[in-house]
Amino acid sequence: MRKLVVGSRRSKLALTQSQQFIDKLKEVDPTLEIEIKEIVTKGDKIVDKQLSKVGGKGLFVKEIQHELFNKNIDMAIHSLKDVPSIIPNGLTLGCIPDREVPFDAYISKNLTPLSELTEGSIVGTSSLRRGAQILSKYPHLQIKWIRGNIDTRLKKLETEDYDAIILAAAGLRRMGWSDNIVTTYLDKDILLPAIGQGALGIECRSDDEELLELLSKVHNENVAQCVTAERTFLSEMDGSCQVPIGGYATMNSDKQIEFTGLIMTPDGKERYEHTIQGTNPVKLGKEVSRVLKDQGAYEIIRKLNEEN
C-alpha cells in the first residue's frame, strides 16, 4: 500500500479523531504509512458568528474536498454531522466506522438537572436543533449562542453567565473527558440528535480502489444503514444549519431499522415528528420526509431558508 495522506481540520477534536481512525487502520495493517495534513476550513476561521448565519454544513468540508480533487490528500476524516447530504461527483463516503454515543451531553453549574433550572436560566448552545427542543420542553429557559472548542465552552460555563451548556457527547468521549463532568446525557426523548451525530464519514475519491478496499475492512454496515436513513431524510427535507432538524436511526438484532425525523421552528413552538420502522434505509428517510411535508413541516424550512 502506498503512503496515505489524511486531510483533517486543525481543531483538537478533528486531529484526535483522525489519529484514532488511523490507529484503527493500522490494527488492520501495521505496515501502513499514514500522515495527517492539517487544513483550515472556512468554518474554522469564522468563530464570532452563528454557523446558521454564514452557510452551515459545507463550511467545514469544502476546502478539504478541494484537496481530495487535487490529489493532495487521499482521504478525509469528517464528523458526519458536518457533511452535506449531497457528496460531489468523483468523491464518495468510502467507510462509516463504529459510531460513538450519538446523544447530547448536558453540563450545568452545581450539577443542577435540566428539569430544575429556574425561570430565565441561560443554556448555551450553538445549535438551532438543540435550542428549539429545549425551548419546546422548557419555555421558561433562555438559549444563548456559544461557540468554540470543548475547552473554550467549558471555560465559558465557569466564567460567563451560562447556567448550563449542551455539547455532543461524542466529542467529549473522543477527547477523553471523563463522564464525571457531564450532569446527564440527554436521550432521544429529550433531545433528538443531529443527523449523523457520533458517526464519522471517511471521504475519498470514488476511483481509488486500493484505498476503498482497505477502508472496507473497518466499515460498519449497520451504522452505515442507520446514517443512510438519517441523511436521506436530511436531503429530502433540504435540511441545513438554518433549520432545526434532527434524525436518529437504530437497528435491532433482526436488522429492523427504527428511524425518527424531526423538524421544528427555532422558538420551539412548532414541532413535526414521525417514527417509522423497516429494512430499507432510503425508503424510511423518504417516507418520514413525506409524512412531515404532508403535515406542513416544509413550510418552516421554506421560510427559514428564505430569511437566510
Q: Which residues are catalytic?
A: 82
Distance CA 129, CA 268 (A): 9
Distance CA 237, CA 245 (A): 9
DSSP H/E element including 108: strand 104-108
268 residue type, one letter: G
Which residues neighbour 143 within 8 Å (Cβ) at sequence distance 6 or greater?
Answer: 122, 123, 124, 125, 131, 134, 135
Do residues 107 and 157 lie in contact, with contact meaning Cβ atoms separated by under 8 Å?
yes
DSSP H/E element including 130: helix 128-137
CA 298 remoteness from chain centre: 21
Tell me what percent of the chain is helix, strand and coil, each rounded to the nearest 5.
40, 25, 35
